[in-house]
């Protein structure tokens, strides 16, 4: 199927439009990775890089996925495992525009894709975008964070629309989430507590003379800050080497640390706040925020690929087999998301797993009967579903056969009539 990949992408787009009226003016793009089991010596794409699966010990490949506003997968691209997210954007945008045109496209991107070079590339092509910015950029809007002119878009979430720098056509949406603030505060407090406890133990070791070398002390501090990186900038650490007046050759260390209250105050002010950047016009903050939050559909697609559809780990070792594995998983995702849309249209929610479990109760049997003329008759019989399952099938528009169906006739050597073969199949044929 690999040579027909682009044709399959085009086919899916047509089908989505025919079945669900999907428009492709808003595209969501994100990158994930999946790791290998084995050495992958015959796979040129297998590299070590940033692992989203917490498996830095394994080689991996990166996958860039484009999905529609409804979460339906449109296309994907395979990258080397050490490819940085920010370097994939230009390639994906040019490829999508070359295949399907660029009129009216709006790209929604996470902060991992954001760089000034990428934004300039999008602007130079007349492309519109909605992106999340690095949190450091919030410092430019510190005054606006203190103001009270926030608009509630849903319980616990507030937004504020701000103009960009003078001469810029960009606008910014500051978003504040109470739930996210509570989570970030709990995480930071935990990191601060653990980092402070580690520094306190180092200080005690130095006071008792068990830590005497200056280089080892700084290494220990560095390891603590690396481990509890969220709180690393909130502490100021100093190490003094003290010479014993009675024994000049003997030296001791004194470790001092203090909290940087101004940084902690800024962290408290910015907890739960993120900044969305866009070059769209004639839109309010609420609409821009809702468009950006749909990026979660791409992240949900990645979770489905990895957990339910078996994308990870990859056991294939050759490049073409790895590409085929990813393609089959992509097609499975397209089928699953199509089923979600179908279920939603029937008022059955959007949980295909539960639907498949319900349909798993339906069984079918193939009954093979040799007749007196030496030919074979194959009858397919489907079990009668329970009442609740009948209602479910009716909502889906599926009708099970209510009588045995002759599915094939073939010549065979004559056998006694009493030799009947039952062939069980778990998946009914609708």
- CATH assignment of the domain containing 127: 3.90.350
End-of-domain residue from the set 345, 377, 400: 345
Distance CA 100, CA 430 (A): 35
Tokens in use for 103? 């009129």
- Range in 247-251, 292-296, 419-423 with the lowest mean pLDDT: 419-423
Residue pointed to by tokens 């010990």: 57
| Whole-number Å distance between alpha carbons of 195 and 239 | 16
Model pLDDT for residues 334-386, shown as the tens digit of each residue: 999 998 898 888 888 888 888 888 888 888 888 888 888 878 888 888 888 88
Q: Which of 209, 237, 267 is the last residue of a domain?
A: 267
Tell me, yes or no, whether 184 lies in a domain. Answer: no
Residues 40 and 147 in one domain: yes
Q: Kindly state whether residues 19 and 157 are assigned to the same domain.
A: yes
Residues in the chain, total: 430
* Lookup: tokens for 425: 């199949």
In a domain, 213, yes or no: yes
Residue 160 lies in a domain: yes
Asked if residue 334 and residue 225 are part of one domain, the reply reads no
Q: At what angle do helices 296-307 and 319-345 cross, to 10 degrees?
A: 120
Domain range holding 412? 360-425
Tell me how many domains the chain contains.
3
CB atoms within 10 A of CB 123: 14
Question: Are residues 327 and 250 both part of a single domain?
Answer: no
Count Cβ neighbours within 10 Å for each residue of 338-372 and write b for 16 or more, e otherwise.
Answer: bbbbbbeeeebeeebeebeebbeebebebebebee
Answer yes or no: do 175 and 40 share one domain: yes
148 contacts: CB under 8 Å, gap ≥ 6: none
pLDDT in tens, 201-253: 999 999 888 998 999 999 999 999 999 999 999 999 999 988 766 666 677 89
Residue 354 lies in a domain: no
Strand boundaries in 209-282, DSSP class E: 235-243, 251-259, 273-278
Q: Please say if the pLDDT value at position 113 is more than 90.
A: no
Q: Residue 185 domain-assigned?
A: no
**112 falls within a domain:** yes
């Amino acid at each position: 199927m690999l040579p027909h990949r682009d044709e399959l992408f085009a086919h899916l787009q047509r089908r989505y439009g025919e079945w669900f009226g999907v428009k492709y003016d808003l595209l969501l793009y994100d990158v994930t990775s999946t790791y290998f089991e084995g050495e992958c010596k015959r796979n040129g794409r297998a590299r070590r890089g940033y692992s989203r699966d917490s498996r830095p010990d394994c080689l991996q490949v990166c996958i860039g996925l484009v999905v529609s506003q409804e979460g339906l997968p449109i296309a994907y691209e395979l990258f080397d495992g050490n490819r940085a997210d920010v370097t994939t954007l230009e390639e994906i945008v040019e490829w999508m525009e070359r295949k399907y045109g660029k009129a009216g496209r709006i790209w929604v991107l996470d902060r991992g894709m954001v760089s000034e070079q990428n934004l300039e590339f999008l602007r130079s092509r007349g492309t519109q975008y909605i992106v999340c910015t690095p949190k450091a950029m919030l410092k430019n809007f510190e005054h606006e964070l203190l103001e009270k002119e926030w608009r509630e878009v849903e319980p616990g979430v507030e937004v504020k629309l701000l103009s960009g720098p003078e001469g810029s056509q960009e606008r910014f949406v500051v978003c504040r989430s109470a739930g996210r603030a509570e989570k970030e505060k709990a995480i930071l407090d935990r990191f601060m507590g653990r980092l402070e406890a580690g520094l306190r133990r180092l200080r005690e070791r130095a006071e008792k003379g068990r830590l005497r070398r200056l280089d080892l002390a700084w290494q220990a501090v560095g390891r603590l800050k690396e481990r509890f990186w969220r709180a690393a900038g909130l502490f100021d650490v100093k190490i003094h080497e003290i010479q014993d007046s009675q024994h000049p050759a003997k030296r001791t260390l004194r470790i001092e640390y203090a909290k940087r209250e101004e940084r902690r105050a800024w962290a408290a002010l910015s907890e739960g706040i993120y900044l969305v950047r866009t070059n769209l016009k004639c839109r309010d903050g609420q609409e821009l925020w809702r468009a950006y939050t749909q990026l979660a559909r791409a992240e949900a697609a990645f979770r489905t690929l990895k957990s339910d559809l078996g994308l990870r780990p990859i056991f294939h070792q050759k490049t073409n087999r790895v590409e085929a594995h990813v393609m089959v998983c992509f097609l499975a995702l397209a089928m699953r998301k199509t089923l979600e849309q179908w279920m939603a249209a029937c008022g059955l929610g959007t949980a295909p797993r539960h639907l498949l479990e319900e349909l798993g109760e339906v069984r079918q049997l193939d009954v093979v009967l040799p007749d007196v003329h030496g030919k074979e008759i194959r009858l397919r019989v489907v079990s009668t579903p329970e009442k609740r399952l009948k209602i479910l099938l009716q909502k889906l528009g599926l009708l099970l056969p209510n009588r045995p169906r002759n599915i094939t006739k073939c010549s065979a050597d004559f056998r006694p009539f009493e030799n009947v073969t039952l062939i069980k199949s778990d998946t009914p044929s609708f």
